[in-house]
Structure 1
């Protein structure tokens, strides 16, 4: 099953030397799952892979991107790629026959692109996502793919160029807004949202002994609080000490949570504009090596 990427047809298992009785026994013991007649999935695959195989396709778009480890917008639906000539469609829950669009838990994508047995390749997943998710989320996905994170990036320069060549022309400009220096998808969403709102922000600015996510107008600091780095009591206290120190230096600090940025962006931008309109004074300490601009 590992050689077959965790997805196999019964005839492939028989060709590998297993009898029908052995396959049935492995299924009863939980060593194999059978999403649809004749098709088997290894139990270490995610439920989305099982759903995609039951439908008769492979993961694509945000479902495939998530399987590669990229951040994606909240979506309970599974995005499935099927061949353009596919006609016998099935529901992702029980395998019954359905028409395209009838199963609301599935987003259907039609493509004959190559890829792995259970998902399309990352470039194809991002190409599909470019027309399926909001601009900020797409840019955040590309940012994450370009970020090294201690190893080679998922989306190296050559893959980025391939993606550019395959994307619709009206979406290619989004790649120019990508910045692999963004440390989280929240920073990407904030950056793109501020850009769209016409608010200029400097990113990853060093202020004294601190580095902040965003600096606006030379005095307003914006920090994005993701759950992973800001959820515990130790992190909470550290952030408050940091805010107090920045305040003593003359900076105003605004913090926004994942929920605010993702679910209440209008409230976030209203707050930012309101604080900016109130004005502020230049802060006293500013490190010389500041990265100007919002994208690379």
Structure 2
């Protein structure tokens, strides 16, 4: 993935050149779209998919045999690309590749891999970044191996196919993803934010925006993590979560601005009918977090017109890309401080 974040497909604006209340209003967000795809897959006709849909879309070879599916038939389906092998000794009887989006295909494969490992390990629960994937939340990068939580007595640490961590986990912090135990969204956000501030703020903003988690639920999860390593960072990061952020890039930029001591910007401010990502009204400064979709031919022309309209109203416009915040933040921060300086 070239070192760039996994959510490239999410990072562009939901509302490019949109007038509030107009045709540019967003539909279901990525998390809702993700879950809708799996629910649609679960409604597929016949066996073995009907059985697999209640078991994380993963069946063991013994379960396939019990359903009357021979090994040769399963092997043929895998070779055609209609089925996949998420882990040794398991089969997923549905097509999860060919979407046209390499990162989306990778997320689907990771979801099945995590489900397969969890099914094969009693008392294990899918957690952290792998749980975020199952919930359809953005992650900065896909884990190299599924992340699970388990009681210490079962053995922890990295194995060939996954990584099991030990941590306290109440029944209320576990939910089900098509029959596979997974940490709730709120607990997932706390675990992410404890270890990865950027990943935590991206997922938290998305969860609040799509209403798959509430502030109250996140606060309860934080209270349950009192005294854990990294919980102070998690409390600070999740305290910044804002449903107005419309992309992971906006989330990461806002976190960087806060940590660097910048004055808090206004989010999704409307100027002359145009909605902007960040702005400081007193300084008449707009900051736009730009994803790749803005630089297609039609989108680029719309963005030029939009910027011209903002400048004609006396606003200055600065732009920021993924590279600016992830790789060149000191230079970017100096540029923005100069733009915010009194004139």
TM-score normalized by the length of structure 1: 0.73
Matched, 1:18 2:67: yes
Cα shift at 1:32: 5.2
Please state whether the residue corresponding to 2:195 is helix, strand or coil.
Answer: coil
Distance, in Å, in 2 between the alignment partners of 1:265 and 1:183 is: 21
Aligned pair partner of 2:213 in 138, 143, 155: 155
Cα shift at 1:23: 4.8
Aligned partners of 1:64 and 1:119 also within 8 Å: no
Aligned pair partner of 1:178 in 238, 241, 265: 241
Aligned partners of 2:283 and 2:340 also within 8 Å: no
1:229-240 equivalence runs, <5 A? 230-240=294-304
Matched, 1:223 2:322: no
Aligned partners of 1:27 and 1:34 also within 8 Å: no
**What do residues 197-226 of structure 1 show as CA deviations (whole Å, max 9, x unaligned)?**
111122222223322211234322101112
Distance, in Å, in 2 between the alignment partners of 1:226 and 1:40 is: 36
Cross-structure match for 1:288 = none
Which stretch of structure 1 is more off in the superposition, 267-276 or 43-52? 43-52
Cross-structure match for 1:197 = 260
Query: For the aligned residues, what is the CA RMSD?
Result: 3.1
Cross-structure match for 2:154 = 86
Cross-structure match for 2:315 = 251
Cα shift at 1:163: 2.8
Which stretch of structure 1 is more off in the superposition, 248-257 or 201-210? 201-210
Aligned partners of 1:214 and 1:223 also within 8 Å: yes
Cross-structure match for 1:95 = none
Please state whether the residue corresponding to 2:136 is helix, strand or coil.
Answer: coil
Distance 1:202 1:50, change over 3 A: closer
Q: Which protein has the bigger helix share? A: 2
Cross-structure match for 1:60 = 127
Cross-structure match for 1:164 = 222
Distance, in Å, in 2 between the alignment partners of 1:35 and 1:242 is: 46
- Bigger Rg over Cα: 1
Please state whether the residue corresponding to 2:252 is helix, strand or coil.
Answer: helix
Matched, 1:40 2:107: no
**What do residues 58-89 of structure 1 show as CA deviations (whole Å, max 9, x unaligned)?**
643223212322121124513320522334x8
Aligned partners of 2:205 and 2:243 also within 8 Å: yes
Cα shift at 1:275: 2.4
Question: Bigger relative contact order, structure 1 or 2, given CA contacts below 8 A and separation 6+?
Answer: 2
Please state whether the residue corresponding to 1:78 is helix, strand or coil.
Answer: coil
Matched, 1:140 2:202: yes
Distance, in Å, in 2 between the alignment partners of 1:215 and 1:156 is: 26
Distance, in Å, in 2 between the alignment partners of 1:133 and 1:67 is: 18
Please state whether the residue corresponding to 2:244 is helix, strand or coil.
Answer: coil
Please state whether the residue corresponding to 1:203 is helix, strand or coil.
Answer: strand
Cross-structure match for 2:14 = none
Distance, in Å, in 2 between the alignment partners of 1:199 and 1:157 is: 24
- Flag structure 1 segments of 5+ consecutive residues without an equivalent: 90-99, 281-296
Aligned partners of 1:243 and 1:253 also within 8 Å: yes
Cα shift at 1:181: 1.2
Cα shift at 1:172: 2.3
